[in-house]
Amino acid sequence: MAKKPRLDVRGRTTVITGAASGMGAEVARELDRRGARLALLDRNADGLASLALDLTGSGHTTHAVDLTDDDAVFALAAGIAASHPHVQALVTCAGSSMLGDIDQLTMEEMRWLMDVNLWGTVNITKALLPALRRETAAHVTHLVSIYGLAAPAGRIPYAMSKFAVRGFTEALRHELEGSTVTVGAVYPAGVKTGIILHGRYAAAIDPAVAQRAAEAQARMYHTAPADAAVRIVEATVRRRARTMVGREAGLVDVLSRVTPQHYWAPMRAKLRAAIDTTTPIAQGRGHS
């Protein structure tokens, strides 16, 4: 099989979702340093404006959009294609988390997370494909999660959404074989962003208990966002199909493949405090 040419990002456009904060902002900074033009998407207009002030390159644009609004996304994609003549890459970083077990979560809460994490990824990808196909080489990078490799208790909607994004990514990669567009998934683990601390939790959970669980999860994160951004950008430039980020990612990948029925047993102890959304604070201090 012929080796796929690397992307030269200088002067060409990468579209980044979830760009106002977290991994999206760090990926934007890394691509800005490499001379890329950027179309930055997020619901948070103020966050986008703040990020734009930090960037040193030219030709960047910011776009406040709700990625769950299909009509708005397709209209925006057409506008980006018109104002950025060479849309070479898409990196989807937008997403949220949701704490709670099946008895605590409502159907509405689970559907909301699927809308954000899955359908927001699908619609921006579909909307930008015509522009990406016009390039001689282009790449789509979807941020998945190690919870798209192994599904922990206490994270049902998040794991559902990330397994679905993984399936979408792999199926799309196969559909686009032989075209100029390649597709890859990045599986981050333990990146020190605020997603878990600023994510949502089931309304049925005591807020203090949810905060305790979120903080326990956050203490397990080790990878600096800037380091993760370098890995994500390199995966995009090299047009890789599969990339692990963070020291736990490779371990979880191997574990889920070696023992697909029993991988939860070794994971359970490490995640005990992070998935506990039921023990009252007065009884649960030993988990913190």
Catalytic residue list = 158
Which residues contact residue 187 at a Cβ distance below 8 angstroms, ignoring those fewer than 6 apart?
Answer: 144, 145, 146, 148, 149, 242, 243, 244, 245, 249, 253
- 201 phi, psi to nearest 5 deg: -140, 160
> Are 153 and 275 in contact, with CB atoms under 8 Å apart?
yes
Collapsed DSSP state (helix, strand, coil) of residue 61: strand
Question: Residue 140: beta bridge partners?
Answer: 90, 183
Q: DSSP letter at 260? A: T
Collapsed DSSP state (helix, strand, coil) of residue 206: coil
Strand order in the sheet with 181-188: 61-64, 37-42, 13-17, 87-92, 138-143, 181-188, 242-245
**CA-to-CA distance for 48 and 20, rounded, in angstroms?**
5
CA 120 to chain centre: 11
